[in-house]
Amino acid sequence: MTISIALRPLAPGTGPPAGTALPLAGGPLHFTLCEAVAREGAREISRSCIAPEEIPSWAARFGPEAVEQARRQAANLSAPRPAFAGLALERPRLMGILNVTPDSFSDGGDRFDPGRAVADGFAMIEAGADILDVGGESTRPGSDPVPEAEELRRVVPVIRALSDGGALVSIDTRRAGVMAAALEAGAGIVNDVTALTGDPDGLPLIAGSGASAVLMHMLGEPRSMQRKPVYADAPLDIHDFLAARVAVCEAAGLPRARIAIDPGIGFGKTLAHNLAVLDRLAVLHGIGCPLVLGVSRKSFMAKIVPGVAPKARLPGSLAANLAGLTRGVQILRVHDVAETAQALAIWSAIQGDWGKGC
């Protein structure tokens, strides 16, 4: 059976790196140790805490293929990320959530009117959003799909107006027909909860379009994903899934430089799974793509602090997003743009000019 390798930078820090410290994804954070895990299928066969220079000798125990995996991941851990959809990633970016649906879990109905959606989208840009993520179909747990014609009716006019106004727009969809119409209307990014597996026409469309893509992990599908989800090790299973999807996309002609990855918090995951994934997010840097984190207002927070309604989860959302930043996340997907932008500005200032020195 094939051996799979995963490397997780431990306790990324800021300030002037010392000794053998390496930059995390080319950014202001750096690390000096890695958790190195080898698995045979779902069975863990080794877990060690090692310095980066020890990675090749550690991996050699598992054969040449493992050495090559480890070499590639180690290089990805410290390599700078290229611009994503034209956005330089020398600082974290904000993706504002713009749902034009009647039934999304938090803001369903708030922006069902296209005029309101467009106005709110431009307000998000003014508040600090770098990307506007427009969605016309709720994928909350238990949701049913909407007809494609209705999804198109909801999203295309909004995308066209925002794009014509200079906004960088992402379309949140799993249908190739909606992707194509959104790109024609001016969208530059496709954000797919199925990681371009839900529609066989999606991947070749994006590969040939020049658009960028966000590949998200989801266990199952929205109607059933929360029915007893099971993992051998949630962070590592998600790492392996996303690494495999990136490889498939590259083989189909969608280059890694146009791909970002999202662990899919809340999509087929229990509270324990979500917390483990958030804690060990840094393992995904080994894939070599920008990380998108979408935790805003999600229901796992109400399992920790019972009774907190979705729109009252701003404090929890900020806490989870800041935890993501300390693990090197490059793009935060949020409902509350102005508040998150303020938190990001304060966090960045505390780092000391992005950790560039004394």
Q: Rounded distance, CA 159 to CA 171, Å?
A: 8
| Of 218, 224, 260, 255, nearest in space to 238 by CA | 218
Residue that has been written with the tokens 């050495």 in this structure: 67
* C-alpha distances in Å from residue 353, one per residue of 15, 79, 81, 236: 9, 20, 19, 33
Contact (Cβ atoms closer than 8 angstroms) between residue 98 and residue 171: no
DSSP line for 244-306: HHHHHHHHTT--GGGEEEE--TTSS--HHHHHHHHHTGGGGGGG-S-BEE--TT-THHHHHST
Catalytic status, residue 311 = no
**For strand 22-23 and strand 30-31, is the pairing parallel, antiparallel, or unpaired?**
antiparallel
Determine which one of 39, 93, 111, 298 is catalytic.
298
Angle separating helix axes 202-209 and 234-251, nearest 10 degrees = 60
Q: Rounded distance, CA 236 to CA 242, Å?
A: 10
Q: Rounded distance, CA 335 to CA 192, Å?
A: 18
Catalytic status, residue 303 = no
Burial class (CB in 10 A: 0-12, 13-18, 19+), 170: buried
Contact (Cβ atoms closer than 8 angstroms) between residue 179 and residue 134: no
Determine which one of 93, 154, 327, 333 is catalytic.
333
DSSP line for 146-182: PPHHHHHHHHHHHHHHHHHTT--EEEE-S-HHHHHHH
Give me the active site residues, please.
298, 333
